[in-house]
Amino acid sequence: MTAAPGLVIATAGHVDHGKSTLVRALTGTDPDRLAEERRRGLTLDLGFAWTTAPGGRTLAFVDVPGHHRYLATTFAGIATAPAVLLVVSAEEGWRPQTAEHLAALDAFGVRTGLLAVTRADLADPAPTLAEAAERTSGTGLAGAPAVAVSARTGEGLDRLLRELDALAAALPPPDPAAPVRLWLDRAFTVAGAGTVVTGTLSAGTLAEGDTLHLAPAGRAVQVRGLHSLGHAVPRVTGPARVAVNLRRIAADQVRRGNALLTPGRWWTTDLVDIRCEPTGGTDDGGAPPRLPAEPLVHCGTAATSARLRPLGLDTARLALRTPLPLHVGDRLLLRDPGSRLLAGATVLDPEPPPLTGRGAAATRARLLAGISEPTDPAVRLAAAGLGDRGRLTAQGYAVDADGERWLFDRAYAERLAAALAAAVKEHAGAHPADPGLPVARARQLLALPPDTALAGLAAVAGAGLTLRDGRLYRAEEADRLPAAVAAGLERLLDEVRSAPFQAPTRRRLDELGLDAEALALLVRRGALERVGTVHLPAGSVGRAARELAGLPQPFTVSEAARALAVSRRVAIPLLETLDETGHTHRRPDGRRVLKDDPG
């Protein structure tokens, strides 16, 4: 059995048991698990329940506390749910905590939901419905469906379920192949099973046997088993509530705020640049909020303190006390612990550069202001010139996971191409015998990483340059030898035509105009073979093996030298090369024997 995707709904809004009573009426399950919650009539922790909608779709509810004292718990439930059921009492109307929850929903980017006006049997719901429509105007829930219900009489419950079902049906399904980030909201021990953690899987797929990364501890854990909505399943795809049985980790080593991650696909950081945004709870016309120097930062089920450094009108840098696993585009909620101020923020860069020098913050603010789509790597590449594909993928940028390691900014690549063309031209002028610029030297001149792929470097080089044999040439020089080198090679081959193993001396090579650079070029082009310290025409090693096959086996160096008509200056390095290539075997007495048929 595989858990079918449904919809996970955060139930927020009213401070008293109006929410919990409504969830209980919809699901038949009391989301208030704690005895103290039932005694006080107040939700203190996250509660969970689920039901099946008329269309057969599963609806899971996360009931969050309404009281201001439990905001961290409230945010942990709101942040991970893709949709919300915002509850307001017809008796009491819009309350401060309702506005607070609406602001949090806006901060976390929750744009899907509906409004339930409860206790419609005790008071006329019309004024509350009108007020709610006005209050949600300009927020992510503007125009959301609204239903008046009574948990006591059952009035409106059927319609509410139908609206929730329609809400779930209208949502595009999340990517099942997306990297997993399961924010944990509970951790406990089950007898015979060990550690179990729960959370809301918003996207991606979990399966038995998966190895995940536990953040921020930085250790690998393995999925022993999975449950979703009370059933054991081999795999589960978001959105879904899920319980994960983990191997070889104690429950006291895991807590709310930790996350299970797909390895290598998330960037855990304690420094991040953000854009601050007004929320549905602001009353200042939508201006960016004035944030405290040390806000509390909420992301998923995690909360941490931070230091904030303003950069521009609406951008800032956060130094987080506890690292968080983030992607660009992630939504954060910033809270002033000394007031009820809430602000939303979008992650613009989870690996920002240091701010050094006068005006660095203003320059950074201008760059961040140019980011309209955080997942587009264009601004990041424009600032740095190039980027590591693996790092960009882990940070959530829209790049293919496969391909050459380094990605280049287009304008930077054009500047590199111009600089590279000039460097190749200069090298060719200084080294006429071998005009190709070695790739390693090109990387050094252009200050490129030492592992920049040759193919990537060739692409940067452009149509005017050609990569061949690990060197960059001007296109017109790539397929021909320099005139002086070609002439020297022709004379050398003429001289050894009748005695192919008579390698020219160093003096003779100099007379032919073949210096070390020219000889290296001819070896790379396959015109000559380097045999020890001497140079012979291409194919000489194979020809020598065939010549030596006619000798009685085994044979000495002197016998080989006579057979090849060469001196020991050539015979010894030639025989050593034959040993290295496996043509011959050298015996302890110094004699050699051919190992294979040289033909």
Question: Could you give the angle at the alpha carbon of 172 between the alpha carbons of 370 and 196, nearest 5°?
Answer: 95
pLDDT band at 282 (very low <50, low <70, confident <90, very high): very low
Q: Supply the DSSP symbol for 69.
A: G
The CB-side HSE value for 517 (13 A sphere, CA atoms) comes to 17
Mean pLDDT on 16-21 = 72
Give me the residue spans of the domains in the chain.
Answer: 7-170, 181-261, 267-403, 410-477, 539-599
Rounded to the nearest 5°, which phi and psi values hold at 519? -65, -40
| Residue of 15 and 45 predicted with greater confidence | 45
Helix (H) or strand (E) holding 486: helix 483-495
Q: Supply the DSSP symbol for 68.
A: G
Nearest to 274 by CA among 325, 320, 332: 332
> 254 has which bridge partners?
none
Nearest to 281 by CA among 338, 318, 334, 329: 334
Helices (H), 353-453: 360-369, 378-384, 389-394, 410-430, 439-446
pLDDT band at 233 (very low <50, low <70, confident <90, very high): very high
CB proximity list for 154: less than 8 A, separation 6 or greater: 25
Q: State whether residue 122 is helix, strand or coil.
A: coil
User: What CATH topology corresponds to 539-599?
Assistant: Arc Repressor Mutant, subunit A (1.10.10)
Nearest to 233 by CA among 247, 242, 181: 242
| Residue of 70 and 112 predicted with greater confidence | 112
Query: Would you say how long the chain is, in residues?
Result: 599
Say whether pLDDT at 17 is over 60: no
Tell me what pLDDT residue 426 has. 87
- What whole-number distance in Å separates Cα of residue 429 and Cα of residue 78? 67
Which phi-psi region, left, alpha or beta, contains residue 285 (left: φ > 0; alpha: ψ -120 to 50)? left
Does residue 377 have a cis bond before it (omega within 30 degrees)?
Answer: no
Tell me what pLDDT residue 289 has. 65
**CA dihedral of residues 157, 162, 164, 170 (deg, nearest 10):** -170
Mean pLDDT on 82-98 = 89
What predicted TM-score, i.e. pTM, was given to this entire model? 0.80
Q: State whether residue 155 is helix, strand or coil.
A: coil
pLDDT band at 324 (very low <50, low <70, confident <90, very high): very high
pLDDT band at 84 (very low <50, low <70, confident <90, very high): very high
**pLDDT tens for each residue of 195-214:** 999 999 999 999 999 999 99
Nearest to 330 by CA among 183, 444, 521, 532: 183
Neighbours of 388 (CB within 10 A): 15
Q: Average pLDDT of the chain?
A: 86
Nearest to 548 by CA among 580, 493, 585: 585
pLDDT band at 547 (very low <50, low <70, confident <90, very high): confident
Name the residue type at position 545.
Answer: A
Tell me what pLDDT residue 16 has. 58
The CATH number for 181-261, chosen from 3.40.50.620, 3.40.50.300, 3.40.50.720, 2.40.30.10, is: 2.40.30.10
Q: Is 13 exposed, middle or buried (0-12, 13-18, 19+ CB in 10 A)?
A: buried
> % helix / strand / coil in the chain, to the nearest 5?
30, 30, 40
| Residue of 308 and 487 predicted with greater confidence | 308
- What whole-number distance in Å separates Cα of residue 186 and Cα of residue 184? 6
228-232, 474-478, 549-553: range with lowest mean pLDDT = 474-478
Mean pLDDT on 91-117 = 89
- What whole-number distance in Å separates Cα of residue 83 and Cα of residue 79? 10
Tell me what pLDDT residue 459 has. 64
Nearest to 326 by CA among 354, 345, 313, 310: 345
Does residue 239 have a cis bond before it (omega within 30 degrees)?
Answer: yes
Token readout for 41 is 């009539």
- What whole-number distance in Å separates Cα of residue 364 and Cα of residue 566? 71
Token readout for 12 is 């927020």
- What whole-number distance in Å separates Cα of residue 205 and Cα of residue 180? 7
Say whether pLDDT at 330 is over 90: yes
Same fold, 181-261 and 267-403: yes
pLDDT band at 260 (very low <50, low <70, confident <90, very high): very high
- What whole-number distance in Å separates Cα of residue 241 and Cα of residue 221? 19
Say whether pLDDT at 391 is over 60: yes
Task: Tell me the pairing of strands 146-148 and 113-118.
Answer: parallel
- What whole-number distance in Å separates Cα of residue 200 and Cα of residue 15? 23
Token readout for 423 is 């460097």
155-164, 277-286, 590-599: range with lowest mean pLDDT = 277-286
Helix (H) or strand (E) holding 39: helix 35-40
Mean pLDDT on 127-150 = 91
31-45, 107-121, 292-306, 439-453: range with lowest mean pLDDT = 31-45
Nearest to 28 by CA among 230, 170, 185, 245: 230
Nearest to 415 by CA among 454, 378, 366, 382: 382
User: What CATH topology corresponds to 7-170?
Assistant: Rossmann fold (3.40.50)
pLDDT band at 246 (very low <50, low <70, confident <90, very high): very high
CATH of domain 267-403: 2.40.30.10
Judge whether 86 and 99 are in contact, CB under 8 Å: no
- In the chain, the N- to C-terminal Cα span, in Å, equals 64
Say whether pLDDT at 4 is over 50: no
Tell me what pLDDT residue 321 has. 96
Token readout for 316 is 């800032």
pLDDT band at 2 (very low <50, low <70, confident <90, very high): very low
Say whether pLDDT at 15 is over 80: no
The percentage of the chain sitting over the pLDDT mark of 90, rounded to a whole number, equals: 39
Helices (H), 84-146: 96-107, 126-136
Sequence-ordered strand ranges (E) for 532-596: 534-537, 584-586, 592-594
Say whether pLDDT at 285 is over 60: no
Judge whether 474 and 432 are in contact, CB under 8 Å: no
Q: State whether residue 62 is helix, strand or coil.
A: strand
- What whole-number distance in Å separates Cα of residue 324 and Cα of residue 258? 9
Say whether pLDDT at 125 is over 50: yes
Tell me what pLDDT residue 146 has. 93
Judge whether 243 and 50 are in contact, CB under 8 Å: no
- What whole-number distance in Å separates Cα of residue 329 and Cα of residue 286? 20
- What whole-number distance in Å separates Cα of residue 233 and Cα of residue 206? 10
| Residue of 393 and 549 predicted with greater confidence | 393
Residue 106 CA, chain-centre distance (Å), reads 26
